[in-house]
Amino acid sequence: MQRLGSAATYVTARRALKTTAAECGVRGGEYTSYDRATYDSSLRV
């Protein structure tokens, strides 16, 4: 979600961000806690 001033709020496309799981949770993002793929392939967007 993006804010334009104090009155307008609108939804935008999600952007990938390389961060920790804790920081992602604070920001309200989504992440995969466990994936059967390799670690390298899970980092690719």
Q: What is the pLDDT of residue 25?
A: 81
What residues contact residue 27 under an 8 Å CB cut-off, 6+ apart?
19
pLDDT digits (tens, 9 = 90+) for 10-44: 787 778 888 888 888 888 787 777 666 677 776 76
Query: Does this model's pTM top 0.85?
Result: no
Largest CA distance in the chain: 44
Token readout for 23 is: 């920081």
What residues contact residue 8 under an 8 Å CB cut-off, 6+ apart?
none
Domain boundaries, the chain: 2-34
